C-alpha cells in the first residue's frame, strides 16, 4: 500500500535534522503523544512541564473529556498538575488525529496485548502508524514506545513510512524507546528512569536521545531499534523468571516447614550476587504476563524454542490454583466447607497502591472461588467495582467488628492504606499472599503465608 499521495513534500535542501535539533533544544517542538494511559500521560505531562506544547491524543472521547477537564485517570499524575498545564496552554487532549500534521515529535504509546493464541496483537501500533503516515511531513521524529517483538520498528514500521517516498534519517526520523514507567512507584518518576533509544540511523538515535534528554537524567543510546526492543523484553523476562523461581521456592519451603520470606531475607543479606524476589498469588499488569511471550513467538521464526520463559509462565500461572488449594485445606482443618464459606479478599489490583486490574491474579482467584460456591466480598480503595463472570461486585467497607464474620481474609494486594493490624486483631483465619502481616503479633495457626 502506498501513502505517497498523502504526504507533504518540501524542498530537499532543508537540513531537517538540524532544524529539529534546534526546535528540541529551544523546546519549541510541538509534541503529540498517542495514547493517554499509564505510559503516555506521564510522558506528555513531563514534556509539558519542560515547556513543550503537547497534545495528548487518544481514541477515547470520554478520556479526552476528562483530561481537558483536568481529571487524571492515573495515580502518578495529580489533577492539579494537569490543570496547571492546561491553564498554561502546555497540554491539550484530543481525539482528532489531524493534529499530527503540525507535530514535530510523535510518540506512540498504545497497548500491545496478546491474542488468545499467544500471538502479539500490534493492531493498535499499526493503526497509529497509519494515522501518522496520513499526516506525515518531512522533518518529523516518530518514536515507538509500545512494547513489542524485536524487529517491529525496522521490519514493519520502516517499510510503511518509506513507502511514502521519504527516507529515514534524512526526511523523517524513526526510533524505538521502550517505556519504563512503573505506576505507583514514588521512588522512581519519569525523570529518574534512564531512557534507552535505538534509531533506524545514527541521526534518528541522536534526535531521540536529545529529545528524551530534556526530561530524564540519563539516556542510553544503542545501535539499533532491535537492541532497544530486546532490552525491554529482557527486563521483563528477568522479572518473570525470578518471580517464578520465588514462587516455586515457596512451594518447596512449605513442604519443608519453613518461612519462604525468612529464607529470602536471609539470602538477601549477601551484599553481592543476589537480588531478592518474593512469591505472590501470580503475576499481573501490562508487562510481565505478556511481554515475554513476544520473544517466545518471535524466536519460533528462527527455529528456536525458548525454554525458561514458558516454564516461568507455567509456574506463575499455577499460583492462583495453589492459593485456593491452601485456603481449602485451611478451611477443612476448621471443619468449614469451601462451598458456602465467607471470604473477604483484600485488594484486586495487580500491585499495591494502583487501580490497575489488568491480568490481575486476584480476579482469577475470586472468579474461581465464586465458581466453587464461595461468598466473596472484596476491599480495594483503588478499585470501586469489578466484573466477575458477568456479574458486578462492588467494593465494601469493613469495620473491625465485621472481620470476624468471615471464614477467611485473603490478602491478594498489599495496599499501604489497609489496616493490617485491625485484620490481625479481628480475623480468625488469614491467608496472606503478600507478606503484609509479617512482623505483626499473630496467634498460632491464624496466618498462612506463601
- Burial readout 49-65 (b: 16 or more C-beta within 10 A, e: otherwise): beebbbbbbbbeeebbe
Copy the grid coordinates of residue 205. Answer: 538515535
Q: Residue 144: beta bridge partners?
A: 108, 176
Terminal CA-to-CA distance of the chain, rounded, Å?
54
Closest CA to 328 of 315, 343, 318, 350: 343
CB 360 within 8 A of CB 349: yes
Please state, in angstroms and rounded to a whole number, the distance separating the CA atoms of residues 106 and 260: 46
Copy the grid coordinates of residue 140. Answer: 518529523
Closest CA to 132 of 104, 100, 93: 100
Catalytic residues: 287
- Burial readout 81-116 (b: 16 or more C-beta within 10 A, e: otherwise): bbebbbeeebbbbbbebebbeebbbbbbbbbbebee
What is the dihedral sign for C-alpha 406, 408, 413, 417? positive
Closest CA to 309 of 337, 281, 334, 290: 290
CB 228 within 8 A of CB 178: yes
The helices-and-strands tally (H runs, E runs) of the chain is: 14, 15
CB 68 within 8 A of CB 92: yes
Other beta carbons less than 10 A from residue 211's beta carbon: 29
What is the dihedral sign for C-alpha 233, 157, 217, 355? negative
CB 167 within 8 A of CB 203: no
Residue bearing cell 489496616: 419
SS3 content of the chain, % helix, strand, coil (to 5): 40, 15, 45
Contacts (Cβ under 8 Å, ≥6 apart) of 62:
none
Copy the grid coordinates of residue 25. Answer: 533544544
Amino acid at each position: 500500500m502506498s501513502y505517497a499521495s498523502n504526504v507533504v513534500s518540501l524542498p530537499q535542501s532543508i537540513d531537517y535534522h538540524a532544524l529539529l535539533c534546534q526546535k528540541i533544544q529551544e523546546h519549541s517542538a510541538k509534541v503529540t503523544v498517542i495514547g493517554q494511559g499509564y505510559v503516555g500521560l506521564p510522558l506528555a505531562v513531563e514534556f509539558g512541564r519542560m515547556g513543550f506544547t503537547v497534545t495528548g491524543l487518544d481514541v477515547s472521547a470520554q478520556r479526552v473529556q476528562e483530561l481537558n477537564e483536568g481529571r487524571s485517570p492515573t495515580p502518578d499524575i495529580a489533577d492539579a498538575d494537569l490543570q496547571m498545564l492546561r491553564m498554561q496552554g502546555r497540554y491539550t487532549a484530543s481525539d482528532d488525529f489531524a493534529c499530527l500534521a503540525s507535530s514535530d515529535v510523535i510518540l506512540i504509546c498504545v497497548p500491545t496485548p496478546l491474542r488468545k493464541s499467544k500471538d502479539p496483537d500490534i493492531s493498535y501500533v499499526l493503526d497509529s502508524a497509519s494515522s501518522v503516515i496520513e499526516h506525515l511531513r518531512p522533518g518529523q521524529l516518530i518514536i515507538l514506545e509500545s512494547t513489542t517483538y524485536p524487529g517491529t520498528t525496522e521490519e514493519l514500521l520502516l517499510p510503511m513510512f518509506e513507502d511514502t517516498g521519504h527516507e529515514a534519517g534524512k526526511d523523517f526520523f524513526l526510533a524505538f524507546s521502550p517505556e519504563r514507567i512503573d505506576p505507583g512507584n514514588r521512588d522512581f518518576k519519569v525523570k529518574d528512569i534512564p531512557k534507552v533509544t535505538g534509531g533506524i540511523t545514527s541521526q534518528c538515535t541522536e534526535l531521540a536521545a536529545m529529545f528524551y534528554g530534556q526530561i530524564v537524567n540519563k539516556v542510553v543510546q544503542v545501535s539499533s531499534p532491535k537492541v532497544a526492543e530486546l532490552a525491554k523484553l529482557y527486563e521483563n523476562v528477568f522479572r518473570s523468571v525470578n518471580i517464578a523461581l520465588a514462587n516455586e521456592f515457596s512451594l518447596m519451603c512449605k513442604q519443608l516447614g519453613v518461612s519462604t520470606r525468612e529464607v529470602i531475607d536471609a539470602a538477601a543479606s549477601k551484599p553481592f550476587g543476589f537480588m531478592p524476589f518474593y512469591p505472590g498469588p501470580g503475576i499481573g499488569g501490562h508487562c510481565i504476563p505478556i511481554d515475554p511471550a513476544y520473544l517466545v513467538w518471535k524466536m519460533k521464526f528462527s527455529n528456536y524454542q525458548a525454554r525458561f520463559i514458558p516454564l516461568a509462565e507455567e509456574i506463575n500461572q499455577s499460583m492462583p490454583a495453589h492459593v485456593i488449594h491452601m485456603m481449602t485445606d485451611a478451611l477443612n482443618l476448621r471443619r468449614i466447607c469451601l462451598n458456602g464459606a465467607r471470604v473477604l479478599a483484600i485488594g484486586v489490583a495487580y500491585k499495591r497502591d494502583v487501580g490497575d486490574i489488568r491480568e490481575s491474579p486476584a480476579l482469577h482467584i475470586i472468579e474461581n472461588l465464586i465458581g466453587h460456591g464461595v461468598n466473596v466480598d472484596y476491599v480495594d480503595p483503588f478499585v470501586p467495582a469489578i466484573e466477575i463472570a458477568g456479574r458486578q461486585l462492588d467494593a465494601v467497607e469493613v469495620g473491625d467488628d465485621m472481620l470476624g464474620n468471615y471464614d477467611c481474609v485473603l490478602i491478594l494486594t498489599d495496599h499501604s492504606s489497609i489496616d493490617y493490624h485491625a485484620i490481625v486483631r479481628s480475623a480468625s483465619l488469614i491467608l496472606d499472599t503478600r507478606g503484609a502481616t509479617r512482623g505483626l503479633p499473630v496467634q498460632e495457626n491464624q496466618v498462612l503465608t506463601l
